[in-house]
């Protein structure tokens, strides 16, 4: 028993999750501070959140080129995870900067809004750094629960309530697909670690045609395609973006979408490199559908937030092209695209936030 404890302690490397732990501590500290301050006071929450993001970003940046692996290699803070973590932090910081005046204008100056963004960002960081399916699932749930609350944050508005409820129900439904796919892959390979799954499938060629393996691949893909709002799993996006607070719609279109791409790419490349012809054939069809549906339907929209939602769907199709390429150039293009897309899309929503008027209580 003593040896097992020693092995477990040796496998714990807090440096692998240090940035997300720091961000989570700032979120929890902010929740405690909010208890002792008058309701409606939010300026302190903005500054504390921004400081937390800057400190977290500093630790992510200093870890560049010095990969850290921990918890029996279930978490990897490598350059890949660090790059996506910076995207999440940029998205969170920009969202917080455009939120304070907006919340006061809408009549919801609630300081708990900001810790939820920090927790959601921490979940996204766990998704990007996860090298085990359970770690990725844990990050997905932490990220999603915060987003469910943020999407329905305006409790006095029917549209916001509808957005939160739709996102929760469909999100839970898609998570079921994802978890079922993980269970099938575990049943085939006997492991949840991404590298071990890939090595096992590569060593046992007969399993590549196994219906359970292919079903697991398809179900995993469905779960992630929902999160990135790819067609035909995009139907939730316009309604949720329209009803959610505008800064949160901006955040959802950038941070969580990038997190889903980060986890999706890592799983496909680590686990299913022996099945590249199969999943690239599936994804190129979805990429074409997503680009066509997103752009064509966006033309007929009369609501700007719904138009931007369909634009976000189309951009998911563009990003999928890099995944379909299934090579180093394609993956590099996907990473660069997500960085540029984050600034571009949040900028578009920021203009909408500044130009918008107080919503009607309907």
CB of 247 closer than 8 Å to CB of 91: no
In the predicted model, what is the mean pLDDT of residues 115-128? 94
Residue 75, φ and ψ in degrees, nearest 5 = -135, 135
Confidence of residue 7 (pLDDT cuts 50, 70, 90): low
Residue 358, φ and ψ in degrees, nearest 5 = -60, 130
Q: What is the DSSP letter of 244?
A: S
Please report, to the nearest 10 degrees, the dihedral formed by the alpha carbons of residues 127, 130, 135, 140 taken in order. Answer: 10
Backbone conformation region of residue 37, classed left if phi is above 0, alpha if psi is from -120 to 50, else beta: beta
In the predicted model, what is the mean pLDDT of residues 42-49? 89
pLDDT reading at 297 higher than 80: yes
CA distance 38 to 223: 41
CA distance 242 to 239: 5
CB of 282 closer than 8 Å to CB of 268: no
Contacts of residue 307, defined as CB under 8 A and 6 or more positions apart, other chains included, come to: 298, 301
Q: What is the DSSP letter of 273?
A: G
Mean model confidence pLDDT for the chain: 89
pLDDT reading at 12 higher than 60: yes
Please report, to the nearest 10 degrees, the dihedral formed by the alpha carbons of residues 304, 305, 306, 310 taken in order. Answer: 100
CA distance 294 to 352: 20
- pLDDT value for 155: 84
Percent of the chain with pLDDT over 70: 95
CA 180 to each of CA 104, 213, 215, 265, 271: distance values in angstroms, whole numbers, following the listed order: 42, 12, 9, 19, 16
For residue 239, give both structure tokens: 């309604």
Residue with the bigger pLDDT between 42 and 11: it is 42
Contacts of residue 20, defined as CB under 8 A and 6 or more positions apart, other chains included, come to: 56, 85, 122, 125, 126, 129
In the predicted model, what is the mean pLDDT of residues 4-32? 80
CB of 182 closer than 8 Å to CB of 220: yes
Contacts of residue 302, defined as CB under 8 A and 6 or more positions apart, other chains included, come to: none
CB of 262 closer than 8 Å to CB of 84: yes
In the predicted model, what is the mean pLDDT of residues 288-296? 93
In the predicted model, what is the mean pLDDT of residues 229-258? 91
pLDDT reading at 122 higher than 90: yes
Confidence of residue 293 (pLDDT cuts 50, 70, 90): very high
For residue 2, give both structure tokens: 């003593």
State yes or no: cis peptide before 232, omega within 30 of 0: yes
CA distance 132 to 122: 17
Confidence of residue 360 (pLDDT cuts 50, 70, 90): very low
pLDDT reading at 326 higher than 90: no
User: Which of 167, 94, 93, 83 minimizes the C-alpha distance to 125?
Assistant: 83
CB of 90 closer than 8 Å to CB of 343: yes
pLDDT reading at 359 higher than 80: no
Q: For tokens 């501590």, name the residue.
A: 25
């Amino acid at each position: 028993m003593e040896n097992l404890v020693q092995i477990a302690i040796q496998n714990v490397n807090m440096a692998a999750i240090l940035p997300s732990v720091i961000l989570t501590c700032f979120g929890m500290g902010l929740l405690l501070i909010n208890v002792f301050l008058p309701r409606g006071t939010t300026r302190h929450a903005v500054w504390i959140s921004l400081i937390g993001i800057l400190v977290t970003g500093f630790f992510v940046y200093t870890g560049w080129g010095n990969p850290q692996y921990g918890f029996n290699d279930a978490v990897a803070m490598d350059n890949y995870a660090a790059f996506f973590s910076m995207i999440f932090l940029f998205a969170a910081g920009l969202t917080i900067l455009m939120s304070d005046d907006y919340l006061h204008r809408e009549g919801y100056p609630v300081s708990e809004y900001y810790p939820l963004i920090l927790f959601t960002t921490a979940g996204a960081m766990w998704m990007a750094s996860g090298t085990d399916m359970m770690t990725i699932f844990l990050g997905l749930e932490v990220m999603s629960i915060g987003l469910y609350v943020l999407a329905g944050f305006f409790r006095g508005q029917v549209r916001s309530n509808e957005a939160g409820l739709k996102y929760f129900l469909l999100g839970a439904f898609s998570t079921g697909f994802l978890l079922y796919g993980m269970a099938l892959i575990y049943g085939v390979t006997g492991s949840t670690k991404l590298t071990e799954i890939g090595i096992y499938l590569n060593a046992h060629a007969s399993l590549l045609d196994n219906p359970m393996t292919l079903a697991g691949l398809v179900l995993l893909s469905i779960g992630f395609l929902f999160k990135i709002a790819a067609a035909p799993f995009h139907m939730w996006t316009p309604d949720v973006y329209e009803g959610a607070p505008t800064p949160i719609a901006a955040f959802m279109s950038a941070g969580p979408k990038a997190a889903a791409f980060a986890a999706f790419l890592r799983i496909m490349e680590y686990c299913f490199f022996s099945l590249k012809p199969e999943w690239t054939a599936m994804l190129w069809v979805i990429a074409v559908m997503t680009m066509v549906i997103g752009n064509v339907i966006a033309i007929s929209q009369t609501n700007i937030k719904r138009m931007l939602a369909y634009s976000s769907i189309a951009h998911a199709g563009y990003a999928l092209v890099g995944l379909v390429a299934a090579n180093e150039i394609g993956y590099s293009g996907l990473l660069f695209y997500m960085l540029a897309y984050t600034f571009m899309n949040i900028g578009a929503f920021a203009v909408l936030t500044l130009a918008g008027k107080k919503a009607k209580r309907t």
